[in-house]
Chain A
Amino acid sequence: MRKIYSDEIIESICKLIGEISFTLPSEVKNLIKNAYMKERKGLGKEYLKVILKNIEIAEKERIPVCQDTGMAVVFVEIGPGVIIDCGKYKSLENVINKGVEIGYKENYLRKSVVSPIERENTGTNTPAVIHIIPSEGDKFKMTVMEKGFGSENCSFLKMFSPGAKKEDIENFVLQVVKNAGPNPCPPVFIGLGIGGDFEKAAILSKMALIDLEKGSSRWEREILKKVNSLGIGPGGFGGNFTALGVKIKTFPTHIAGLPVAVNISCWAHRVKSVTL
């Protein structure tokens, strides 16, 4: 059995938050650079130029890339060979939230979390959205995503019937991106969750957004091509780059249904993992 202490977890979360708020993952930066090189002349291309400048300033001066430093989404993969010593925090959930609270405070990030009806700010950007995933051995891996809501608000879930074709799923994605237009800050990343049940599809669509570094499948490339033929372009100002990536995650589903979730992320896609 391997013991992991609360302090290690808190420190690691703070560190991840301190990194992703100011420095985008290198694959995200490379995709934006590539889009800038290839985008046709016009306002869309000019916007990409400003984005690159913004990324540079954010990194150099440690000013958050975007003022919407998101709601923190934390995935924890944990094997049976790990014991968490939560100490005074009592639960892993409390430990993670403590890490998020300190990370947002120390890095001068915006506290954007409010009670849903009264809209009272919790003042700490907690609670985070936490997903615990059972894993193998003594694995303990955390992935932190700062999920902005300009793009989150453009996400959708649809319960298809089993008769639905791949084409129907594609059309759904295209409709979601089209409806969103300029609002989610394109060029976007698209996480597609297919199968499971209602909430499984949604979680899959968010998890798909983590896997950007992995090579894309033929269907992912086909969807990306179709999305980019919409012409919405960077910032919705027109152009060939409406999306930078499409990732699909699937899971077996029920004979009577086919849940499909589309989770949209803005170009400022902030995500990073650490294994303890």
Chain B
Amino acid sequence: MKIKIPLKEDVIEKLEAGERVELTGNIFVARDRVHKKFIELIEKGKDLPVNLKGEVIYYMGPTPAPPGKIIGSCGPTTSSRMDKFTLPLLDYGLKGTIGKGKRSKEIVEAFKKYRAVYFVTFGGCGAYLSKFIKKIDLIAYPEFGPEALFLIEVENFPAIVGIDIYGNDIYEKV
């Protein structure tokens, strides 16, 4: 199934855990460091540098782009490390996350409550996945190096629905 980002409610409703999807649109790229920063800002009552309403975050830290390439290797990192930071971001309107691996029961429940989706993509396949990325922009925190906040434009980016809004979890089926 082909999906456009930002995610719309009528699309989210149709997604079921285990389904193969192809994502097209702009996606934020953030991992441990940016998540920690976002939560600090939220706790201090400050604004986030970006609007997350309807948006998707890809848990990833790319290798530097070699000459002539848009991006280097760019596969998913382990999502469970972001579990403790996810609830406040869902509260800010985040509608989807992309990563690899299982997530806590609390997160499965939260995705149900906030009607958000967790996508899983192919771990370790950063060379393959780089083929679906058309553009990358640094948005904030260059000092975090590979952990900075980026925005990428993806076209038919391959993923699998990991957790849907009905509480189904692909890893529970195994």
B74 and A67 within 8 A (CB)? yes
Is residue B130 within 8 Å, beta carbon to beta carbon, of the partner chain? yes
Is B61 part of the contact surface with A, judged by Cβ < 8 Å?
A: yes
CB contacts (< 8 Å) of B100 on chain A: these are 150, 182-183, 185, 235
- Contact present for B145 and A123 (CB under 8 Å): yes
Is A153 part of the contact surface with B, judged by Cβ < 8 Å?
yes
> Which one, A45-53, A129-137, A165-173, is touching chain B?
A45-53
A87-119 to B contact mask, C-beta < 8 Å, 1/0? 000000000000000000000111110000001
Partner of A61, one of B127, B129, B160: B127
Most chain A beta carbons < 10 A, residue from B72, B131, B160, B173: B72
Known: A153-B78, A237-B174. A50 touches B125 (CB 8 A): yes
Which of B8-16, B49-57, B62-70, B110-118 lies on the face that meets chain A?
Answer: B62-70
Q: Which of B60, B63, B74 has the most CB of A within 10 A?
A: B63
User: Could you tell me if B102 and A66 are in contact, using CB atoms closer than 8 angstroms?
Assistant: no
- Known A150-B78, A183-B102; contact A266-B174, beta-carbon cutoff 8 A: no
Residue of A nearest to B18 (CB): A43
Q: Does B86 have its Cβ within 8 Å of any Cβ on chain A? A: no
Given the known interface contacts A69-B63, A110-B62, the answer about A185 and B74 at a Cβ–Cβ threshold of 8 Å is no
Q: Which residues does chain B contribute within 8 Å of A236, judged by CB atoms? A: 101-102, 171, 174
- Number of residues from A at the complex interface, CB < 8 A: 43
Asked whether A183 lies within 8 Å of B62 as measured between CB atoms, the reply is no
> What residues of B have a CB within 8 angstroms of the CB of A55 in the complex?
127
Q: Is the CB of A63 within 8 A of B127?
A: yes
State whether B125 touches A54 (Cβ < 8 A): yes
Interface residues of B in 105-164 (CB under 8 A from A): 120, 122-131, 144-147, 158, 160
Q: Do the beta carbons of A67 and B171 come within 8 Å of each other?
A: no
Contact in complex: B101, A181 (CB < 8 Å): yes
User: Does A181 contact B123, Cβ atoms closer than 8 Å?
Assistant: no
List, in ascending order, chain B residues with CB within 8 A of A51's CB: 122, 124-125
Q: Is the CB of A121 within 8 A of B174?
A: no
Cβ of A191 within 8 Å of any chain B Cβ, yes or no, is no
- Size bracket, chain B contacts: 35 or more
Q: Assess whether B72 is in contact with A64, with CB atoms less than 8 Å apart.
A: yes
**Distance of B146 from chain A, by nearest CB (Å):** 5
Docked complex: A49-79 residues within 8 A CB-CB of B: 50-51, 53-55, 57-58, 61-69
State how many angstroms separate the Cβ of B138 from the closest Cβ of chain A: 15
Which residues in B have their C-beta under 8 angstroms from that of A63? 63, 66, 69, 72-73, 126-127, 130
A182, B124: Cα distance in complex, Å = 12
A129 to B160, CA, bound (A): 36
Nearest-CB residue, chain A, relative to B101: A183
Q: Given the known inter-chain contacts A68-B77, A150-B77, please indicate yes or no for A237 contacting B170, CB distance below 8 A.
A: yes
B residues at A contact (CB < 8 Å)? 18, 33, 60-66, 69, 72-75, 77-78, 80, 100-102, 120, 122-131, 144-147, 158, 160, 170-171, 173-174
Can you identify 19 A-B contacts, CB atoms within 8 angstroms?
A: A50-B125, A63-B130, A64-B126, A64-B127, A65-B127, A66-B126, A67-B75, A68-B75, A108-B63, A110-B72, A110-B146, A112-B61, A121-B145, A182-B102, A183-B78, A232-B174, A233-B174, A236-B171, A236-B174
Chain A contacts to B: CB under 8 angstroms: 43, 47, 50-51, 53-55, 57-58, 61-69, 108-112, 119, 121, 123, 148, 150, 153, 181-183, 185, 231-233, 235-238, 266-268
Closest 3 CB pairs of A and B: A54-B128, A58-B127, A64-B73
